[in-house]
Amino acid sequence: MKRVICLMLLAAFLSFQGCAAAALMYMGHEMSQARTAAAEKAERSADLRTYATYRVDMEKVNLDREKAGLKPSPIMSQEEWIGAQTAGRPAVAPQVISGQ
């Protein structure tokens, strides 16, 4: 009888170890996914701030160009701007027109 109980306890313990290992692996995977999602969100947020700065700067340039009687420079959409950034092309640096 003691042997049967010991075998049952051993089987239960071994089963629990498998579940615990699976649970730990699942928790590790979920934590990794959460970190990745947080990093991507932070990167998108940084892109949005940078695009907003680019857009404001370009609007200032276009206002100066308009005052000088020149055609406005095109302003990239956010999608175009992000595409240019991911393709490794630098953002168009706005140039303030003075005296033209």
The three-class DSSP label of residue 65 is helix
Higher pLDDT, residue 76 or 35: 76
Please count the structural domains in the chain.
1
Summarize the confidence of residues 55-84 as an average pLDDT.
91
Confirm whether 18 is domain-assigned: yes
Confirm whether 59 is domain-assigned: yes
Is 61 within 8 Å of 73 (Cβ atoms)?
yes
Summarize the confidence of residues 50-74 as an average pLDDT.
91
Confirm whether 99 is domain-assigned: no
Confirm whether 46 is domain-assigned: yes
Summarize the confidence of residues 24-34 as an average pLDDT.
73
Confirm whether 100 is domain-assigned: no
pLDDT at 1: 79
Summarize the confidence of residues 22-38 as an average pLDDT.
73
Domain with 39 in it? 2-86
**Packing angle, helices 78-86 and 2-67, rounded to 10:** 110
pLDDT at 99: 47
> Residues of the chain with pLDDT > 70: what percent?
72
Q: What pLDDT band is residue 47 in, cutting at 50, 70 and 90?
A: low
